[in-house]
Amino acid sequence: MKNRNLQIRDDGGLRHLLSISGLTNELLTRILDTAESFAGVTEQTVKKVPLLRGKTIVNLFFEASTRTRTTFELAAKRLSADVLNINITQSSTIKGESLLDTLRNLEAMHVDMFVIRHADSGAAHFIASNVEPHISVINAGDGRHSHPTQAMLDMFTIRRIKGPDFGRLRVAIVGDIMHSRVARSQIHALNLLNTGDVRIVAPKTLIPAHCEALGVHVFHDLQEGIRDADVIIMLRLQRERMLGALLPSEHEYYELFGVTEEKLAVAKPDVTIMHPGPINRGVEMDSEVADGSRSVILEQVTHGIAVRMAVMSMAIRHREETPE
């Protein structure tokens, strides 16, 4: 019987990357190991390898993005692929063309991969279910559902700083869990890597119901939630996705859940501070923390290039080595 997991080939290789859920520990570790092999490319005089020369990758971003889109573009170019960035605001989709018709026209140009960001949860899965067999799909964020490469670059960053044994780590994810596709992907990834203690910390209004089923410990008090934490991942307040007044004010949120150097006293002395960006300074954390010695926020951006190189190269090259 064929493997029904759309992301994984019958032999265990990567075909699409749509979510962390559905990956195996072995495959996730293989992606992180492959990213490690690409990490040094940015330090070379010529920042390119020829792995995807002659391949065409299309960035289809239906939502605004800076870090994700540019790091995907840089990653593809450093693999020597040709990159096509589609400006959705000027494409035929705003004239009424359906998403499938847009895809069919791009497929007719003999492209090899779509990198998709879309406001609708499940959009990347829908596209992967409808593309031709020779095309791979990478999810660059869909609605509130998933952002797998962000979670992977976060895991890569943690592994580089804390080592490969996630079992000894206490990781606290702080902020808008309710509306965050990043948080969902991070939780799946941390559990897949057998992290010792995964915590989520937020006001009750920003935590989904029954989230304990995801294998996390829930805290509504910041000091208790980050106590003895090895890693703290801050999340952005996503006002654009909130329906109704879930918070009294950003000022009150900062007073209760904003991270300051003073509040970090209860965490491990060598705690690592992370944030997927963009940061709302004075809301999620103050500048002293964001720019401090324990912050690796800019390193996360750098590592995103290596991780996305790994994902794209594994999906396209593996497909060629093992034909349908």
- What pLDDT is stored for residue 93 in this prediction? 55
Residues 173 and 275 in one domain: yes
Residues 53 and 91 in one domain: yes
pTM: 0.91
Percent of the chain's residues with pLDDT above 70: 90
Residues 127 and 183 in one domain: no
- 137 strand-pairing partners: 114
11 assigned to some structural domain: no
- Of the candidates 170, 174, 173, the one whose C-alpha atom is nearest the C-alpha of residue 186 is 173
Each residue's pLDDT tens digit, 49-60: 999 999 999 999
- What pLDDT is stored for residue 91 in this prediction? 56
Each residue's pLDDT tens digit, 113-154: 999 998 888 889 999 999 998 999 999 999 878 999 999 999
In angstroms, the CA 279 to CA 214 distance is: 26
The set of residues, in sequence order, having a beta carbon less than 8 Å from that of 35 and lying 6+ positions away, is 152, 153, 156, 303, 306, 307, 309, 310
Residues 124 and 171 in one domain: no
- What pLDDT is stored for residue 253 in this prediction? 87
- What pLDDT is stored for residue 67 in this prediction? 85
Residues 156 and 87 in one domain: no
18 assigned to some structural domain: no
Residues 252 and 290 in one domain: yes
- What pLDDT is stored for residue 86 in this prediction? 84
Residues 177 and 223 in one domain: yes
- What pLDDT is stored for residue 245 in this prediction? 43
Count structural domains, the chain: 2
Overall average pLDDT of the 245-252 stretch? 68
Percent of the chain's residues with pLDDT above 90: 68
- What pLDDT is stored for residue 97 in this prediction? 60
- Given a cut of 70, whether residue 96 has pLDDT beyond it is no
96 assigned to some structural domain: yes
Distance from chain centroid for Cα 204: 24
- For residue 39, give the CATH number of its domain: 3.40.50.1370
Each residue's pLDDT tens digit, 169-219: 999 999 999 888 999 999 999 999 999 999 999 999 899 888 888 899 999
10 assigned to some structural domain: no
- What pLDDT is stored for residue 209 in this prediction? 85
Residues 141 and 152 in one domain: no
Instruction: Read off the amino acid at residue 256.
Output: L
Overall average pLDDT of the 92-110 stretch? 75
Question: 197 phi and psi, to 5 degrees?
Answer: -150, 115
Residues 229 and 97 in one domain: no
The set of residues, in sequence order, having a beta carbon less than 8 Å from that of 153 and lying 6+ positions away, is 35, 300, 303, 304, 306, 307, 308
- 113 strand-pairing partners: 57, 136
Which residue range forms the structural domain that includes residue 184?
Answer: 148-295
SS3 string, 234-282, reads ECCCCHHHCCCCCCCCHHHHHHHHCECCCHHHHCCCCCEEECCCCCCEC
266 assigned to some structural domain: yes
- What pLDDT is stored for residue 4 in this prediction? 60
Residue, of 254 and 157, whose pLDDT is higher: 157
- Of the candidates 274, 282, 289, 285, the one whose C-alpha atom is nearest the C-alpha of residue 233 is 274
5 assigned to some structural domain: no
- Let me know how long the chain is: 324
- What pLDDT is stored for residue 40 in this prediction? 87
Query: What band does 248 get if pLDDT is binned at 50, 70 and 90?
Result: low
- What pLDDT is stored for residue 200 in this prediction? 97
119 assigned to some structural domain: yes
- Of the candidates 56, 36, 5, the one whose C-alpha atom is nearest the C-alpha of residue 316 is 56
Residues 312 and 274 in one domain: no
In angstroms, the CA 73 to CA 60 distance is: 11
Residues 154 and 71 in one domain: no
- What pLDDT is stored for residue 323 in this prediction? 46
Element (H, E) at 105: helix 99-107
Residues 140 and 156 in one domain: no
Overall average pLDDT of the 253-272 stretch? 96
- What pLDDT is stored for residue 65 in this prediction? 81
- What pLDDT is stored for residue 1 in this prediction? 34
In angstroms, the CA 97 to CA 75 distance is: 30
3 assigned to some structural domain: no
In angstroms, the CA 206 to CA 208 distance is: 7
